[in-house]
Chain A
Amino acid sequence: MEYEFQFHYILQAWPVLMEGLKVTVQLTVIANIIALTLGFVIALLVLSKYWLLRAPFALMIELFRCTPVLVQILWFFYCVPILFGIYLAPLPMGILALGINLACFNAEAYRAAIQAVPREQLDAGVALGFSPLQRVRYVVFPHAFRAALPVLITNGITLFQQSALVAIVALSDLMYMGRQVATQSYRPIETYTAVALIYFAISFPVSRVAAWVEQRLDAARA
């Protein structure tokens, strides 16, 4: 291969790429905040003893888990405004699409963790006089959150990577900016390599944090 790498193009385009990264990080962080809270609520609803509460959310989880994220993003951008009359700027719409998608995956992690809360812990909650809502707040959530944390972090990083798909609806994230730079400079190899390395430079440390958390939790259980 006789290709000559010319990385100074990247240096020139660096501010543009960083601008894109800012959008990507914004998208990921806010979607994660939504998903960490909404996911827990969905998990509780799915575990409800009332069929009427359970069914719609179980269906929602399956819908989001069993369709491609790319399709979901396109669906949100084209169908939500028309079907529901909700018109949002691209960034909030992207956050909404990714946030709800992630919430469904997090709900599954929470569900398993909630079911693993020791029975005697719940009994103790009753014995101490906590109301059902207080038991969720003071007993179930702390247990479930800790148990689910490694999966929640992993889901969060996965979303960071999948967020690149929003470039398709012209949201100016890192991937979108990378594509602009690549076509304008005629240097796709350097550009996409740089873009990949930026994604990696953020994902990798966070995934190490997830591994560390998991180790610590295992140690605490032992």
Chain B
Amino acid sequence: MTEIQPLVEMRGVHKNYGTLQVLSGIDLEMRPGDRLVVIGPSGGGKSTLLRIMMGLEDIRRGEIDLLGKRYITGHEQSGKTRIDSTLRKQVGMVFQHYTLFPHLTIISNLTLAAIKTRGMSKPAALDKGMQLLKRLGLESKAQSYPSQLSGGQKQRVAIARALMLDPRLMLFDEVTSALDPELVAEVEAVMLELAEQQMPMMLVTHDMWFAKNIASRVIFCAGGVVVEDGPPEQVLGDPVNPRTREFIERVFHIKT
């Protein structure tokens, strides 16, 4: 199936914070429609991987292609990272903490970037924003401010805000870990709906049940490299690598 152009291609991505090596050579390929869940011990570079993909971090070495075009290049000699900001607009991201703009209403949170960075007209943006809110059952909150919403509602609005911009790839960085347990399901439901619509996504989560449900592929990251890569049944159910096995056993032990 080599004729299908990969959505993302990472080659030899290295990242360090000062002397701390976080990623030491990540090679990764994502095909359109892939829902890639990244699991692994904390400090293993999961979130860093997503942040790099969003163009939020410099990389020391390596290159990333998106949609067949060069997206990010790390130049080791000059210490500079080149990021194509046009391609970056094809990527959307939702963060762990609610990052809605507190001074704007919900509907303005949705429309601002669409109008200012994508050149959408105001009526069109409002229309699209209201449609998205309707889909999420949040249309009554359009004129509310983020502080008047629950954590789960805020996180759903944050997802809608990213979807406003028609991303070709969505990144979810532990989007439910700051939520009260009873609010997690409503956010996960939105993500599962997106999965059904074949939205390509890359997500970091600690919720193994959710990972199993949403993933088309799971990678286990530890020590700055991809240790294991495969379908969820294999990586979560019957991992090959002893490090993955140990991690999975420990995580599922706590759960039962």
Additional 15 contacts, C-beta under 8 A, given A121-B101, A123-B93, A124-B101: A120-B96, A123-B54, A123-B99, A124-B93, A126-B55, A126-B88, A127-B54, A127-B91, A127-B93, A128-B112, A129-B88, A130-B113, A131-B117, A134-B116, A138-B116
Contacts of B92 in A (CB 8 A): 127
A123 near B165: Cβ-Cβ < 8 Å: no
B208 interface residue per 8 A CB criterion? no
**Shortest Cβ gap from B91 to chain A (Å):** 8
Q: How far is the CA of A124 from the CA of B102 in the complex (A)?
A: 12
B55 near A142: Cβ-Cβ < 8 Å: no
A66 interface residue per 8 A CB criterion? no
How many A residues, CB 8 Å from partner? 18
B247 interface residue per 8 A CB criterion? no
A83 interface residue per 8 A CB criterion? no
B112 near A138: Cβ-Cβ < 8 Å: yes
Q: Which of A120, A130, A143 contacts B116 (CB 8 A)?
A: A130
Contacts of A130 in B (CB 8 A): 113, 116-117
Q: How far is the CA of A220 from the CA of B148 in the complex (A)?
A: 10
Q: Select the residue from B85, B88, B99, B113 with max chain A CB neighbours within 10 A.
A: B99
**Shortest Cβ gap from A168 to chain B (Å):** 42
Interface residues on B, range: 20 to 34
Contacts of B112 in A (CB 8 A): 128, 138
**Nearest-neighbor residue (CB-CB) of B88 within chain A:** A129
**Shortest Cβ gap from A217 to chain B (Å):** 11
B97 interface residue per 8 A CB criterion? yes
A126-B54, A129-B88 given; A120·B97 CB < 8 A: yes
Q: Which 3 A-B pairs have the closest CB atoms?
A: A124-B99, A128-B113, A129-B117
Q: How far is the CA of A120 from the CA of B102 in the complex (A)?
A: 13
Q: How far is the CA of A124 from the CA of B19 in the complex (A)?
A: 27
Q: Which of B51, B117, B147 contacts A128 (CB 8 A)?
A: B117
Q: How far is the CA of A142 from the CA of B85 in the complex (A)?
A: 24
Q: Hey, what's the 0/1 contact readout for A128-161 against B, CB within 8 Å counting as 1?
A: 1111001000110011001000000000000000
Interface, chain B (partner A; CB < 8 A) = 51, 54-56, 85, 88-89, 91-93, 95-97, 99, 101-103, 112-113, 116-118, 147, 161-162, 165
A123 near B101: Cβ-Cβ < 8 Å: no
A127 near B147: Cβ-Cβ < 8 Å: no
Q: How far is the CA of A127 from the CA of B88 in the complex (A)?
A: 8
B95 near A123: Cβ-Cβ < 8 Å: yes
Q: How far is the CA of A124 from the CA of B117 in the complex (A)?
A: 13
Q: How far is the CA of A124 from the CA of B158 in the complex (A)?
A: 10
Q: Which of B89, B96, B147 contacts A129 (CB 8 A)?
A: B89
B99 near A120: Cβ-Cβ < 8 Å: yes
A-B contact pairs, 13 of them (CB 8 A): A118-B99, A123-B56, A124-B95, A126-B55, A127-B95, A128-B112, A129-B88, A130-B113, A138-B116, A139-B101, A142-B103, A143-B103, A220-B102
Contacts of B113 in A (CB 8 A): 128-130
Contacts of B55 in A (CB 8 A): 126
A146 near B95: Cβ-Cβ < 8 Å: no
Contacts of A146 in B (CB 8 A): 103
Q: Select the residue from A118, A127, A131 with max chain B CB neighbours within 10 A.
A: A127
**Shortest Cβ gap from B39 to chain A (Å):** 22
B165 near A129: Cβ-Cβ < 8 Å: yes
